[in-house]
Amino acid sequence: MSAQAAIVWRDIAGVFVRTFFKIGLALFACWLGHGAALAETRVALVIGNGAYANKAVLPNPTNDAEDVAAALRRSNFEVILGTDLGQAQMQELAIRFARAAGRADVAMFYYSGHAMQHNGVNYLMPVDARLDDEADLKRFTRVDDILNDLQQAKNLRILVLDSCRDNPLAEGLKRAAGPTRGASIGRGLNKMEAPLGTIISFSTQAGRTADDGRGRNSPYTSAFLRHIGEPQEIGEVFRNISGDVYEVSGKAQLPELSLSIVGKFYLNGTVSVTVTPAAPAAPADPCTLAEAHWKAADSIGTTAAYEDHVARFPACAFATLAKTKIEGLKQKTALAPPAVARTGPAGKTRDFDGSWDVTVNCPDVGKTRGYSRMLSATVTDGFLRADDRETGKKNWLAIDGTIPASGKTTLSARGLTGNSDFTVGGGAAGSPYSYTIDAQFERSRGSGKRNEVRPCKVEFVKR
């Protein structure tokens, strides 16, 4: 080989070595970035209690637990699942979870079912529980104990309680305890502050009760399932869940959310990072949800909506603006001439009588496809009736209800499902369903929102 050829081969070899070295560095960096995520241990305890033996049956918790367990498995969680558990079974799963959390990087506890607070302590209720007196609370699971077990996880701990339904056993105990001692049995759940590196989410605000819904899942769990698989930072995921519930409930149910995490963590998508800092974190900001609540209140634009914002966030950024809006609306009301509505039989208004076009728009929800549907409606003596039922047609929809002079109403909808691709939960075609619509009519137009199962908008236009 000539000296010139040797030089050429040496240069080629050098290029090859440098290229190989760069590829190796890139692969090594990729391994460093994703190795932690691949090796990360995630465990979750998911419980759904609905088949209560003592007059407190709930329809959704078993479905909630099964669907949440499936969603968490898709996000690489090792799931311990239990449904309709008695006292001994709940204790056994809690012990298993405590052991699993000790070796986990991420630990989550999700509960759907009855719960209550007593003397400021939150309790979860097994399906075989009795509540004749305060001693029976020893049969319940203390949420503080679960929270302590969660703290063993190295990086992130998540506590989710979809359990603020009306509890007839708690009300019975309150009456039996009398007016003095019964005062210690609060409505809903007691507020809990998230420890360092923890997220706590209740289905509604502390001291309030939540809607169980009429579909397969509760409103909160429906929102949880829509967002938990998204490739977003975990704090943003839970804020989206809260905002979704608030919108779908017609601004009636706002989940309680307490976050105490520093840094960013992703269950899906971007590589996760450790969220527990070395230094103490600042207390949770009470104004975290103020902006989202303000946007919702301002979109409603009523005195009651603004007053609700001031009551919930009195020291936050939009409180002054809300007070200004309230004063403006009060002055406007004082100067306005009294409205005279046309009335029909039994005092019903005729202001909205006539023919209307109704459009129902439902967006995609997870794998469930969205759709738009148009109906013709008539309003007679203030009663709206829309029905696209046809002989031999498997899927139909009917909407009806009374529209008062104020235009604010709740309508009832019912029908049969069509193609399962468009049905939440994939139910068979021809399955019956029903839901309600909160609507506001103004002269020749109206708008509304579906309250249950999925977020749909309804538009009304008078011909």
Average pLDDT, the chain: 79
Indicate whether 106 pLDDT > 80.
yes
Instruction: For residue 70, give the H/E element and its range.
Output: helix 61-74
Tell me the pLDDT band of 8, cut-offs 50, 70 and 90. Answer: very low
3-state secondary structure of 230: coil
Does the pLDDT of residue 370 top 50, yes or no?
A: yes
Residue 9 confidence (pLDDT) above 50: no
Quote the pLDDT of residue 38: 46
- Quote the percentage of the chain above a pLDDT of 70: 74
Is the pLDDT score of 29 beyond 70?
Answer: no
pLDDT of residue 426: 74
Place of tokens 């309003």: 379
Choices 1.10.8, 2.170.270, 2.40.160, 3.30.70: CATH for 345-462: 2.40.160
| Residue with the larger pLDDT of the pair 298 and 31 | 298
Annotate 338-400 with DSSP letters as a single string. PP---B-GGG-B-TT-EEEEEEEEE--BTTBPPEEEEEEEEEETTEEEEE---TT-S-EEEEE
The pLDDT of residue 173? 56
Q: Tell me the fold of 36-284.
A: Rossmann fold (3.40.50)
CA–CA dist 305, 297 (Å, integer): 5
pLDDT in tens, 345-364: 545 678 899 999 999 988 88
**Is residue 175 pLDDT above 60, yes or no?**
no
DSSP string across 191-208 = --PPPTTEEEEESS-TT-
Full-model pTM? 0.52
Tokens for 382, please give them.
């203030």
Nearest Cα residue to 144 out of 215, 101, 193: 193
pLDDT (tens digit per residue) in 391-415: 556 788 999 999 998 899 999 888 8
- Report the residue count for the chain: 463
CA distance to 78, 93, 230, per residue, from 83 (Å)? 17, 11, 26
Average pLDDT over residues 216-239: 92
Cβ count within 10 A of residue 29:
10
What is the model's pLDDT at position 111? 95
For position 180, what pLDDT does the model report?
Answer: 38
Scanning the structure block, which residue is given the tokens 């939150």? Answer: 122
Which range is least confidently modeled, 86-95, 147-156, 322-331, 354-363? 322-331
Structure tokens given for 222 = 């429906």
- Per residue in 232-274, pLDDT (tens digit) is 999 999 999 988 888 888 888 888 889 888 778 899 875 444 4
Packing angle of the helix pair 303-312, 319-335 (nearest 10 deg): 150
pLDDT, one tens digit per residue, over 268-327 is 875 444 444 444 444 456 787 777 777 766 755 677 667 877 888 888 888 888 898 888
Residue 161: the pLDDT is 93
Closest alpha carbon to 355 in 380, 377, 373, 387: 377
Question: In Å, what is the CA distance from 20 to each residue of 14, 24, 402?
Answer: 10, 6, 75
Domain ranges of the chain: 36-284, 299-335, 345-462
Cα–Cα nearest to 138, from 190, 90, 202: 90
Question: Is 280 buried (19+), middle (13-18) or exposed (0-12) by CB count in 10 A?
Answer: exposed
**Which of 18-32, 48-62, 78-92, 429-443 comes out lowest in average pLDDT?**
18-32
Helix, strand, coil content of the chain in percent (nearest 5): 35, 25, 40
Which pLDDT band, with edges at 50, 70 and 90, does 379 fall under? Answer: very high
**Range in 2-16, 285-299, 434-448 with the lowest mean pLDDT:** 2-16
Q: What distance in Å separates the CA atoms of residue 108 and residue 42, rounded to the nearest whole number? A: 8
Nearest residue to 357 (alpha-carbon basis) of 373, 371, 376, 372: 376
Residue 214's alpha-carbon distances to 79, 113, 221, 222, 383, in angstroms, are 27, 15, 12, 11, 24
Residue type, 316: C
Nearest in space to 224 (alpha carbons), one of 365, 77, 364, 84 = 365
